[in-house]
């Protein structure tokens, strides 16, 4: 296998992650963090870039992707958790978010962004998504390959322009970035959904290497990490650059979301032509992202739900995506936070256990203990983020280490794993004895 193949796969992985939706969070972080920007973006990169690449590396250690990874807890858990992953990166959040980003950047700057306008736009948008998803071809991949560099160049133009046309002073950090900007940025990185998407994308990358003759597990792991580093450098550069646009735009006014900030920056720096160009490129990139995710969901669920055809699945996916899209971008973001706060810790623990699994022979009991304890705390955090009153147990949870950093699940995960290991040690001699008696009989 040639070195340039690794480079190509690295850029392919970058294209998979670099959806237009990822543009809106770094720029919002930049606007809100102000003087604390560099600490905040460092935390954001850790979860928005580092964690997805580590997850891809973890996938390279198993044969059957995310289902096998999560199936070490229990086969049913593997199926349910992976299904949740596809729903999150599909019709529940990622597809509606991408559709709204297309609307915010491609339509709102030129017409009234009313609910009726959004409704009409999403009807047309999802009819086209469904039509193209019925017979996905290399055309979409080729369009995506052309749009990714075009989008990259558009962002580069905005970044360069920001040094010449945006000369306002850096603002003070907003309220949520004043105390702990790094850990606030760490949690904001969840919103990219890339670590969750890695569970689905990982198998694509691994298959690409295997198709090129890489079968040795150690070599596969090494190649995956190298491709991941290429992706990481590209994503980090984009996030830091976009975030800086947000920092400079803070003195230009107030904006509802990241899409509005980018459109405003294009308008200030390059006028109406810049806004149109950015809107067209981002909208097309969003469209190809939605088609890709719809196809992925169609292929996954049609293989696992009896008597459910691919066509039926993509109809359901597009209908759900259409309905959720019409609640608006800000509402989608706010509703996604509780779910991501719940799912991300479980994902992090699964990935960590995959790397250290040889120490305990990938014991099911260790996996179950760690995931059970993690899930309990993550569920609490998710309910709090959703606005549910859990004040009755808050004094107890607040005693956990790292609670103030929103990482209170870390120590329970370790304790759960140790308890699972203890159970394994107790049961192992009994299981060996029963196996020996059965053999003798």
pLDDT tens for the chain, 441 residues long, are 676 778 888 877 887 787 766 888 899 999 999 999 999 999 999 999 999 999 888 888 887 778 888 899 999 999 999 999 899 989 999 899 989 988 988 888 888 878 899 999 999 999 999 988 887 665 555 555 666 677 778 778 888 888 888 877 888 888 889 888 999 999 898 888 888 888 887 777 787 788 778 778 788 888 888 888 988 998 898 899 889 989 988 888 888 888 888 888 888 888 888 888 888 888 887 888 888 888 889 988 998 888 899 999 999 999 999 999 999 888 888 888 899 899 999 999 999 999 898 888 889 999 999 999 999 999 999 999 888 888 888 888 989 998 888 889 999 999 999 999 999 888 776 555 554 454 444
Q: Cα–Cα distance between 303 and 297 in angstroms, integer?
A: 10
Per the listing, tokens 């939605």 go with 290
Per the listing, tokens 């609670």 go with 403
Provide the sign of the torsion angle of the four alpha carbons 174, 178, 180, 182, taken in this order: positive
In this structure, are residues 84 and 347 in contact, taking their beta carbons and an 8 Å threshold? Answer: no
Q: Cα–Cα distance between 264 and 256 in angstroms, integer?
A: 11
Q: What's residue 224's pLDDT?
A: 86
> What pTM does this model have?
0.83
Q: Cα–Cα distance between 190 and 81 in angstroms, integer?
A: 17
Q: What's residue 143's pLDDT?
A: 58
Structural fold of domain 3-326: Amino acid/polyamine transporter I (1.20.1740)
SS percent in the chain: helix, strand, coil, step 5: 85, 0, 15
3-state secondary structure 281-340: HHHHHHHHHHHHHHHHHHHHHHHHCCCCCHHHHHHHHHHHHHHHHCCCHHHHHHHHHHHH
Cα 237 → chain centroid: 17
Q: Phi-psi bin for 213: left (phi > 0), alpha (psi -120 to 50), beta?
A: left
Q: What's residue 1's pLDDT?
A: 60
Q: What's residue 441's pLDDT?
A: 46
Give CATH 1.20.1740.10 domain extents, the chain.
Answer: 3-326
């Amino acid at each position: 296998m040639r070195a340039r193949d690794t480079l190509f796969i690295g850029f392919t992985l970058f294209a998979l992650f670099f959806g237009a939706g990822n543009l809106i969070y770094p720029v919002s972080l930049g606007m809100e963090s102000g003087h604390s920007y560099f600490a905040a973006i460092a935390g954001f990169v850790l979860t928005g870039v580092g964690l997805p690449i580590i997850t891809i590396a973890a996938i390279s250690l198993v044969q059957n992707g995310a289902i096998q990874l999560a199936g070490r807890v229990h086969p049913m858990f593997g199926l349910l958790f992976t299904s949740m992953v596809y729903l999150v990166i599909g019709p529940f959040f990622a597809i509606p978010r991408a559709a709204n980003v297309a609307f915010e950047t491609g339509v709102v700057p030129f017409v009234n962004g009313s609910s009726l306008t959004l409704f009409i736009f999403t009807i047309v948008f999802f009819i086209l998504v469904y039509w193209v998803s019925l017979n996905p071809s290399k055309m979409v991949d080729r369009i995506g390959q052309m749009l990714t560099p075009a989008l990259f160049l558009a962002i580069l133009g905005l970044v360069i322009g920001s040094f010449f046309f945006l000369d306002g002073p850096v603002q003070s950090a907003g309220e949520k970035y004043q105390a702990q900007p790094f850990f606030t940025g760490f949690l904001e990185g969840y919103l990219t959904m890339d670590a969750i998407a890695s569970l689905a994308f990982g198998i694509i990358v691994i298959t690409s290497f295997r198709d090129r003759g890489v079968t040795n597990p150690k070599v596969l792991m090494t190649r995956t990490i190298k491709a991941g580093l290429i992706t990481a450098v590209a994503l980090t550069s984009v996030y830091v650059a976009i975030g800086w646009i947000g920092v400079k735009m803070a003195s230009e006014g107030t904006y509802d979301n990241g899409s509005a900030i980018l459109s405003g920056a294009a308008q200030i720096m390059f006028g109406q032509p810049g806004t149109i160009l950015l809107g067209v490129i981002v909208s097309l990139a969003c469209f190809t992202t939605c088609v890709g995710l719809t196809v992925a969901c169609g292929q996954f669920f049609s293989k696992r739900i009896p008597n459910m055809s691919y066509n039926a699945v993509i109809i359901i996916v597009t209908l759900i995506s259409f309905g959720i899209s019409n609640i608006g971008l800000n509402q989608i973001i706010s509703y996604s936070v509780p779910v991501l706060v719940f799912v991300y810790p479980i994902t992090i623990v699964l990935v960590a256990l995959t790397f250290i699994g040889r120490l305990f022979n990938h014991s099911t009991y260790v996996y179950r203990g760690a995931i059970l304890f993690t899930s309990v705390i993550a569920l609490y955090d998710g309910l709090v983020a959703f606005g549910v009153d859990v004040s009755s147990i808050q004094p107890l949870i607040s005693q956990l280490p790292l609670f103030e950093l929103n990482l209170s699940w870390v120590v329970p995960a370790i304790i759960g794993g140790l308890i699972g290991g203890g159970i394994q040690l107790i049961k192992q001699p009994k299981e060996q004895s029963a196996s020996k008696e059965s053999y003798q009989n």
